[in-house]
């Protein structure tokens, strides 16, 4: 494009002032339309282009042939116009910001990515809820290995080798262990109770711990069983711990989890590592205790096992502790006593959320999991 410039009729001030005012107006109007980089570039060439730019033409036509006394005021107006043009080029428009970002690979005009914030798995969330109740009672948390030795999983918990109580907790044995003494043979732990032993060997009373974790059993999968599931164990050992403490603690925990209207009752039961042992039932949370299909019309639902720690367990712990300190007497049952309990996480989660098939927890089906978001 050949650029044209206004003709300057004379070099007196009113004449060139009028000519510069026209030019300044032009710049103002054009700079309002600089919405794209192309428009900016055209504008730059139009005014500042080295050969045909308007400023070059003005400088050639007006400045060079001006009489000496007019050069200074002319030059000042010329520089003002140049500044005005440069400022218009410096101020980036929203559109130019966008497009220059696009040049760097980010197009901020595209719709944003939808981020799906993660949520804890409902089983993890249930574990946290239970653990939180006990944290408020002053308990801390312990964890233990899933691959456990026969000693911790069975022997120290008063399941002697070949004892029939082991049949209820059949599990996967780690291969190639036959050469080892039976107490050292490895297996997938069948419950979280071995961490009771690990804790007491490591720590003198008072002990107040909860132990959440994964356990394994040779159980066929059905709507309420899975060969891999989760438990939360509890252990409290101190001076003068009684069965009343056990009842009060679990009654509080069940009310905290299922609501203050829930009642508990304790039924005699058997576990090798507690004496006496009990099964804890809670009043049915679905019918309030009047009887429904969920509670098999009994009004009660069995939820966990518990009992007073058997002195045989304290004896196994003491034997291990004495390998380190022969005088150890921290778990002398004449001086201390304790209670323990164990509950299934899946069962509690199923009750809390009305889930009827345990398999949903492991399916990874987003339609199931999204309901907990
Ligand atoms: N370990 C038992 C099981 O898996 C559950 C249990 C019952 C744990 C009574 C305890 C307890 O600590 O006192 O069947």
Residue 334 backbone dihedrals phi, psi, to 5 degrees: -75, -20
Ligand 1: does its nearest atom lie under 6 Å from the Cβ of 305? yes
In this predicted structure, the answer to whether residue 112 has a pLDDT above a threshold of 50 is yes
Q: What is the pLDDT of residue 189?
A: 97
Q: Which residues contact 118 (CB under 8 A, 6 or more apart)?
A: none
- Kindly give the number of the ligand 1 atom that is closest to the alpha carbon of 235: 12
What average pLDDT does range 230-235 have in this prediction? 98
Indicate whether residue 122 lines ligand 1 (CB < 6 A).
Answer: no
Query: Is there an atom of ligand 1 within 6 Å of 341 CB?
Result: yes
| Closest atom of ligand 1 to CA, residue 192 | 1
Higher pLDDT, 51 or 242: 242
> Which of 156, 226, 233 gets mutated to test ligand 1 (max ligand atoms within 8 A of its CB)?
233
Q: Which atom of ligand 1 is nearest to the CA of 215?
A: 4
pLDDT band with cut points at 50, 70 and 90 for residue 146: very high
Confidence band for 372, pLDDT divided at 50, 70 and 90: very high
Which of 190, 273, 337, 346 has most ligand 1 atoms within 8 Å of its beta carbon, as the pocket-test mutant? 273
Count Cβ atoms within 10 A of the Cβ of residue 164 and give its class: 0-12 exposed, 13-18 middle, 19 or more buried.
exposed
Least-confidence region, from 36-50, 94-108, 157-171, 228-242: 94-108
Q: Is the dihedral of CA 220, 223, 229, 231 positive or negative?
A: negative
Quote the CA–CA distance of 229 and 232 in Å, as a whole number: 11
Contact call for residues 191 and 159 (beta carbons, < 8 A)? no
- Residue 305 CA to ligand 1 center (angstroms) comes to 5
Over pLDDT 90: what percentage of the chain? Answer: 65
Residue nearest to atom 5 of ligand 1 (CA): 342
Q: What are phi and psi of 134, to 5 degrees?
A: -75, -30
Supply the pLDDT for residue 373: 86
- Helix ranges (H only) for the chain are 13-31, 37-48, 54-58, 68-90, 94-103, 122-136, 150-153, 194-202, 243-258, 311-322, 345-353, 360-363, 366-369
Determine the Cα–Cα distance for residues 334 and 57; give it in Å rounded to an integer. Answer: 110
Q: Ligand 1: distance of its center to the CA of 231 in Å? A: 9
Distance (Å) from CA 323 to ligand 1 centroid? 27
Alpha carbon of 341 to ligand 1 centroid (Å)? 6
Using CA atoms, how far apart are residues 270 and 165, in angstroms rounded to an integer?
A: 10
Q: How much is the pTM?
A: 0.71
pLDDT at 1: 47
| Band (3; pLDDT cuts 50, 70, 90) | low
Q: Give the pLDDT confidence of 25-72 residue by residue, as tens digits.
A: 989 998 888 888 888 889 888 999 888 888 888 888 888 888 888 888
Q: Give the model's pLDDT for residue 101.
A: 54
pLDDT of residue 99: 52
Q: Give pLDDT tens digits for 265-312.
A: 999 999 999 999 999 999 999 999 999 998 999 999 999 999 999 999
Answer for the pair 324, 290: CB distance below 8 angstroms, yes or no. Answer: no
- Per-residue pLDDT tens for 209-228? 999 999 999 999 999 999 99
355 has a pLDDT exceeding 90: yes
**pLDDT above 90 for 137:** yes
- Out of 159, 190, 193, mutate this one to test ligand 1's pocket (max ligand atoms within 8 Å of CB): namely 193
- Tokens at 302, concatenated: 């069995």
Percent of the chain with pLDDT over 70: 96
Measure 342 CA to ligand 1 centroid, in angstroms. Answer: 4
Has residue 91 got a pLDDT over 80? no
CB 198, CB 170: distance < 8 Å = no
What element of type H or E holds 338? Answer: strand 337-344
């Amino acid at each position: 494009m050949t650029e044209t410039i206004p003709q300057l009729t004379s070099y007196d001030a009113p004449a060139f002032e009028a000519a510069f005012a026209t030019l300044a107006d032009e710049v103002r109007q054009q700079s309002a339309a600089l919405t794209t980089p192309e428009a900016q570039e055209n504008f730059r060439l139009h005014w500042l282009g080295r050969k045909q730019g308007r400023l070059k033409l003005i400088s050639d036509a007006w400045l060079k042939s001006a009489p000496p006394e007019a050069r200074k005021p002319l030059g000042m107006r010329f520089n003002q116009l140049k500044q005005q043009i440069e400022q218009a080029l410096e101020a980036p428009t929203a559109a130019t910001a966008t497009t220059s970002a696009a040049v760097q690979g980010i197009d901020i005009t595209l719709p944003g990515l939808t981020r799906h914030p993660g949520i804890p798995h409902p089983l993890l969330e249930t574990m946290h809820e239970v653990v939180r109740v006990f944290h408020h009672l002053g308990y801390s948390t312990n964890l233990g290995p899933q691959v456990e030795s026969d000693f911790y999983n069975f022997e120290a918990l008063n399941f002697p080798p070949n004892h029939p109580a082991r049949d209820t907790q059949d599990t996967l044995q780690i291969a190639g262990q036959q050469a080892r003494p039976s107490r050292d043979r490895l297996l997938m732990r069948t419950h979280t109770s071995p961490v009771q032993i690990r804790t007491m060997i490591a720590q003198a009373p008072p002990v107040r711990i909860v132990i959440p974790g994964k356990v394994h059993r040779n159980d066929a999968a059905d709507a309420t069983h899975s060969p891999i599931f989760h438990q939360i164990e509890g252990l409290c050992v101190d001076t003068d711990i009684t069965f009343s403490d056990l009842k009060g603690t679990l009654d509080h925990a069940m009310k905290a989890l299922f609501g203050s209207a829930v009642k508990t009752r304790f039924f005699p039961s058997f576990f090798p590592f507690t004496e006496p042992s009990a099964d804890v039932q809670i009043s049915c949370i679905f019918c309030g205790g009047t009887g429904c299909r969920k509670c098999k019309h009994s009004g009660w639902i069995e939820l966990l096992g518990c009992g007073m720690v058997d002195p045989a367990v304290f004896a196994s712990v003491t034997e291990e502790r004495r390998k380190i300190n022969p005088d150890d007497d921290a778990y002398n049952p004449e001086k201390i006593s304790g209670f323990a309990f164990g509950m299934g996480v899946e069962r509690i989660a199923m009750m809390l959320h009305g889930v009827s098939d345990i398999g949903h927890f492991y399916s990874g089906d987003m339609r199931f999991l999204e309901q907990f978001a």
